[in-house]
Amino acid sequence: AKVLVTGVSGYIGCHVSQHLLSLGFKVTGTVRSAAKAEQVRASLAALLQPAQRENLSFAIVDDIAVEGAFDSAVRDGGFEFVVHTASPFTYAIQDPQRDLIDPAVNGTTGVLKSVLKYGGSVKRIVVTSSMAAIRNTPTANPDGLSELDWNNAAIKAFNEMGAETPAGIAYSASKTLAEKAAWAFLEQNKCAFDLVTINPPFVFGPPIHPCSAPENLNTSVKLIWDMYVGAIKEVNPALAAGCVDVRDVARAHALALSNPEAGGQRFITSSGPYTQTLVRQVLQKRFPGRSYATGELAAVPVAELNAKSKRVLGMGEYIGLEESIVDTVNACIDRFGDV
């Protein structure tokens, strides 16, 4: 089957694509430029069989926030599925509306609009949402939270603070608004496709996407690398949340495509709690003799947040924090050298 994957140059988009290709899907990935496409092709080459490599192609989508951005990619594709991962996850912003909210919301509704107009063959769209669309980080106790909850607090804070909204809250608002817009679109339009959202907390695990230097790492992996190299001096309570390995996130997206029962549902994919104190414990055990961030944070009591993903998607066992952290650090050392 043919799948359009948006944001294939990104950390999660690249993993999702690699996993889908390894399962035999034909993947068209959207990238901002032909140069990016070549970088993705080179990054994935070693991880794919020759026949799988031939199943990877690209479509240029320069800016997902622009009206009609996905029209030509969708029109030309004959896709059965679409996976929408592209959305900015960064705290380095100047204008929350322009840098986070617009690409998140317009990107998501843009994909849906293009598929409604031109994607008659599409049966299902899987959107990479986030735990940030569910939980009001870090104040909410995640115990008892579920796929029924929404991070309305982030939207309220953004509406009140506007351009002054701190980046973390603006990011959460962008994910909440984008996911709400997607479900609203399905309600307001007669669509031949259905929708599934995957809602991961912090995603860790080995990066396989094009990335030439640690400074360019995606936000979540950079948090681990910065702990490893000692760039973080003190643990940050605002980052107490859940976590999940990127390979499990890729698996969840693939299962969401093919599982008939998944249609119309959201899925939290979480392996357990994440705090920088927990990460330090893993680093001290597995990479001893280095100097790490100080400070104690209580682990967030994450209940069985992933129960639904196991029951409905059949996720099985999740990779734990320790393996995820160790594999992240080793992959970064392989790529950038040790520090």
Question: In this complex, which beta carbon is closest to ligand NDP, that of residue 121 or of residue 299?
Answer: 299
- Which residue number places its CB atom closest to ligand NDP? 10
Residue 189 C-beta: closest distance to ligand NDP, Å: 22
Nearer to ligand NDP, 170 or 203 (CB): 203
Residues that bind ligand NDP (CB under 6 A): 7, 9-13, 32, 36, 61, 63-65, 85-89, 103, 128, 130, 175, 200, 202-203, 218, 220
Nearer to ligand NDP, 203 or 262 (CB): 203
Q: Shortest gap between Cβ of 104 and ligand NDP (angstroms)?
A: 7
Q: Cβ 147 to ligand NDP, closest distance in Å?
A: 14
Which CB sits closer to ligand NDP, 192 or 252?
Answer: 252
Given a contact cutoff of 8 angstroms between Cβ atoms, the answer to whether 4 and 74 are in contact is yes
Nearer to ligand NDP, 10 or 206 (CB): 10
Q: Nearest distance from residue 311's CB to ligand NDP, in Å?
A: 21
Nearer to ligand NDP, 52 or 218 (CB): 218
Q: Pick the closer one to ligand NDP by CB: 39 or 121.
A: 39
- Determine phi and psi for 198, rounding to 5 degrees: -105, 125
CB of 126 to ligand NDP, least distance (A): 11
Q: How far is the CB of 288 from ligand NDP (least distance, A)?
A: 26
Residue closer to ligand NDP (CB basis): 192 or 238: 238
Minimum distance between the CB of residue 66 and ligand NDP, rounded to whole angstroms?
A: 8
What gap in Å lies between CA 145 and CA 132, rounded to an integer? 12
Backbone angles phi, psi at 226, to 5 degrees: -65, -35
In the complex, what is the shortest distance from the CB of residue 228 to ligand NDP, in angstroms, rounded to a whole number?
A: 17
